[in-house]
Chain A
């Protein structure tokens, strides 16, 4: 088993919370893991990405080779496209479609959507809206992770347990909110696949 994942977003959007959840789940399964993060530059608003690699055998490179990523998980639609050269031809593009507009020349939404939809395997959702409807606007990232969960090759229960481990300190309520967000994202992805 091998999953090479590019996590993408804008600085301050918290892509590392997704990485931490997948990472915790992978470790609980005894898998190998490497995760190259972005640090430094405290300011917000620039593009950020992280390379997350999981495998049942030892991993060599901290960086995913180009064209070999199994999945791009993005919390922002334009950022999801920035890493297409990394994605393998039959890889999945899983992205939020809620734009983060902090530049003047942000592309038009319909062109952006057309690019995302031209990707043969993709799941695109307004995770912010889904999270908001559930009354937990801060859990959009877990919605996105939920949407990626059917393609991760890590059983769903392990992801749920990872959320319990990570959010335990914040109380039962927060744990449940995040579990619900995960499920909502997963349901969305499943409905698109059928």
Chain B
């Protein structure tokens, strides 16, 4: 079969379809979004009736996947790294319940924070939950590891974490497919108490998980993804995890490294190979894209063995994504680069699209707050976070999804009145609703502005769970009808919108303002698709 040219994300999706997955659940988040989107657009997935759906957030997605696994079918759940924080309760406990049908959790990390608030390393979550972790080093491995991961998951009845990073997720390369495997039939867990984590059961399950650790290590030792490549110069041995191996060999002609190299693609770490490498080499250099997880383990608190170099001793920078040049410097190889960037080149940050509804919401809000003064606007994550930049300079926080409403409540409780929360429609259903309930119950004087652009714009325009329901949800949570105000964020309505914002800022209770107009990008996309459809209909007629 001819190779397919796939993004790392797409390779995972195709792998899952070919490995007989029955359902994929996710909440969008860069760089993980394209996995689920690929399955949603796949004809094969459609004909196999594979369920592909966006959950309200990562926790609901994780739980739905666990439910499908309970029923004996193969399931996948995908999220960006910070999504795993949201899903953490379900994730960590799923290691105790274990799986029934194969279950793979994909967490996409973002070293260097290309589009994230932090660069946390999901391998720590896998280690914390005591489950096997797979870390593909290229697109082909991403595809193959899905097959392997489902097998591993079913063999030990344990969820498997697949950890990828932005660079793999969003880079394309040729991928060869395997034969397609049938989906599983429904099959209940053999022990119907497996998923009941009452203490007595949970203790038994947890002991089982602990007892399996030795077997997981053995699996890692014989894994095709953990390979010790022996070479003659033993002054130094290298451990290269995931993509780091590619950056390493890029530095050598014919990709031949003079030192022994242990490639890591599966965790828990293969003890035997690590020991072999340590014993035969004078020192070790650890290359990992993310936090120094392996390095910390090998170096240990006392650090009294052979020299172990990496991110902790400064051989490699402590933060940020790896690349071939960083590794060249660590190896003492010449670190070349071309001409410097000319001084006249200025930075060009992203900005809200021309005509974006958020622009007019911020213009009205900024003016409404002129008398109260700056420093009162708690915001959230989405396109509207660009309100932090020029020319708006309109918001004062962006922490984690949903934090706008709850932080505004806390600040109002402290006496900062008026306090404003600015949150997107998708973020509101992801994590804003519970916070709003808190505010309603304690009658906190806050003004919540829910920017309803009818989509999850930031991540490319996925459907928003809140579509057409926001005012009903808000009313049901107990916000008074008179203080739920809907606006049309357009320049020509500026004066009206301003007046409404001023009224609600003056109200001493919870009020919700909903500026509503569709995202320009999704409108354009819809028009394009309609046109395309008309064209095909015309050519078929």
Contacts and interface: CB of A to CB of B under 8 A. Distances in A.
Interface of A: 10-11, 23, 27, 32-47, 51, 58-63, 65-69, 78-79, 81-82, 84-89, 91, 102-103, 105-108, 111-112, 115, 119
10 contacts: A37-B171, A42-B459, A42-B460, A42-B461, A45-B351, A45-B353, A47-B347, A85-B338, A85-B340, A91-B338
Contacts of A103: 346-348
The 6 closest A-B pairs by CB, nearest first: A40-B30, A46-B350, A67-B336, A66-B337, A107-B344, A61-B250
Residue from A35, A41, A115 having most chain B Cβ neighbours under 10 A: A41
Contacts of A42: 383, 457-461, 519, 521
A57 B94 CA distance: 43
A62 B174 CA distance: 12
A23 B167 CA distance: 18
Interface in B362-401: 383, 386
B341 A81 contact: yes
B114 interface: yes
B10 to A, nearest CB: 11
A63 B323 contact: yes
Nearest to B456: A42
Interface stretch (B96-104, B207-215, B241-249): B241-249
Contact of B255 (A60, A107, A112): A60
Given A42-B458, A63-B323, A102-B351, A84 B341 contact: yes
A73 B313 CA distance: 38
A86 B337 CA distance: 6
Given A40-B114, A40-B459, A61-B247, A46 B338 contact: no
Contacts of A68: 336
B168 interface: yes
Given A45-B348, A91-B338, A39 B323 contact: no
A62 B167 contact: yes
Interface of B: 5, 7, 30-31, 33-34, 114-115, 167-168, 170-174, 243, 246-247, 249-251, 255, 323-325, 328, 335-342, 344-354, 356, 383, 386, 457-461, 519, 521
Contacts of A84: 338-342
Contact of B324 (A58, A65, A81, A102): A65
A87 B339 CA distance: 7
A112 B167 contact: no
Given A44-B350, A46-B350, 17 more contacts: A23-B5, A27-B174, A33-B173, A37-B172, A42-B519, A42-B521, A45-B351, A60-B247, A61-B250, A62-B171, A66-B323, A66-B335, A66-B337, A67-B336, A85-B340, A107-B344, A107-B345
A82 B174 contact: no
A27 B346 contact: no
A107 B346 contact: yes
A35 B342 contact: no
Contact of B386 (A43, A102, A111, A112): A43
Contacts of B172: 23, 33-37
Given A40-B31, A82-B341, A60 B353 contact: no
A34 B115 CA distance: 22
A41 B323 contact: no
B5 A46 contact: no
Nearest to B30: A40
Nearest to B3: A27
A60 B345 contact: no
A78 B31 CA distance: 27
Given A39-B170, A42-B458, A81 B342 contact: yes
Contact of A47 (B7, B338, B348): B348
A67 B31 CA distance: 27
Nearest to B29: A40
A41 B458 contact: yes
B344 A115 contact: yes
Contacts of A44: 350-351, 353-354
Nearest to B115: A40
A91 B336 CA distance: 14
B348 A10 contact: yes
A63 B353 CA distance: 29
Contacts of A112: 344
B342 A41 contact: no
Contacts of A62: 167-168, 171, 173, 243, 246
A65 B460 CA distance: 30
Contacts of B521: 42
